[in-house]
Structure 1
């Protein structure tokens, strides 16, 4: 991709994020985004259909960066790390990028992020269950939904409350809960 295009897209995404730190997504206009990014309104529309498309692409990029930086497989590939080590990498990544995730989780009008995060966690849990020979006593879909919802809820609570516990402590606590629901072998 042309560096100028890349630079413009980054400026536009950064402008959206900084505006979301100041006000609700629903109240942000394309004009404000363009002004903050120091680009023409037409440049925003050149890359994005509307502000919702911009938000979705921004979320997708950040979640993909989370996945790639933590080396978490998106398919049936085997991770080089244990699931607990992968989880710790996720929490460390979230710690390093707290401002972005805090904005998305606290801004009214952005449930899309939580939905996409939930979907990502559901896929990761499904992959883990498919790899392991764990005897599941309940419906697999039910278990995936339950554990993913609980995990995202804990992550959301941790970020919104400005990380009251260290990442390693969060992972240890979650891991103990996973052992209780027999998601992992103790």
Structure 2
């Protein structure tokens, strides 16, 4: 991709997120996005059909970045290693404006659903790849429980304006999983 195109797209997406931090998504106009991104309306329309398409592409870009950065290819098993969880929180911390805005903006409740759906898919894949015997647990219920708890903790972290570091969040979530015996014995450290 041409560097200029990439730079424009990043500026447009950053402008959208910046505006969403200030007001509801529904009240944002293409003109405001263009002005904030320092591009003309035509540039936005050359990349996106409308502001909804822009939001979808923005979500997709950040979700892909999250998956690529936080899903090492060499890990197997149902549960991630502690350092994978730490990388996830660090990436979110680095992109705090994006995550805070989308988790707290009432105009975009679908973001939480996107994040949870991503986690559910990942948990399902890990269960399938590991061939783990879940005993009496149903895969769908386990995936829903783990994803809901984790997304709830992430949402709390951003809504509370990140009162602790990514490392502290990782340690706390890991301890919760250990406490409730959600980690197999071989994965506790």
TM over 0.5: yes
Residue matched to 1:23? 23
Deviation at 1:136, TM superposition (A): 3.8
4+ residue segments displaced more than 4 Å: none
Q: Deviations over 1:151-176 (max 9, x none)?
A: 10110001111222333332233223
Q: Deviations over 1:74-115 (max 9, x none)?
A: xxx543895322111101111222122111111121122212
Q: Are 2:181 and 1:178 equivalent residues in the alignment?
A: no
Change (3 A) 1:147 1:183: same
Residue matched to 2:156? 157
> Are 2:17 and 2:97, in contact at CA under 8 Å, matched by a contact in 1?
no
> Are 1:178 and 1:184, in contact at CA under 8 Å, matched by a contact in 2?
yes
Structure-1-length-normalised TM-score = 0.87
Q: Are 2:32 and 1:32 equivalent residues in the alignment?
A: yes
Unmatched 5+ stretches in structure 2: none
CA distance in 2 between partners of 1:164 and 1:11 (Å): 29
CA distance in 2 between partners of 1:127 and 1:162 (Å): 32
Residue matched to 1:113? 111
Residue matched to 2:9? 9
> Are 1:24 and 1:108, in contact at CA under 8 Å, matched by a contact in 2?
yes
Q: Are 2:141 and 1:142 equivalent residues in the alignment?
A: yes
Residue matched to 2:125? 127
> Which is further off, 169-178 or 150-159?
169-178
Q: Give the match's secondary structure for 1:58.
A: helix
Deviation at 1:2, TM superposition (A): 1.6
RMSD: 2.2
> Are 1:15 and 1:36, in contact at CA under 8 Å, matched by a contact in 2?
yes
Q: Deviations over 1:97-138 (max 9, x none)?
A: 212211111112112221211111112222232326343422
- Size of the alignment, in residue pairs? 182
Residue matched to 1:94? 92
Change (3 A) 1:124 1:159: same
Deviation at 1:61, TM superposition (A): 0.9
CA distance in 2 between partners of 1:180 and 1:114 (Å): 26
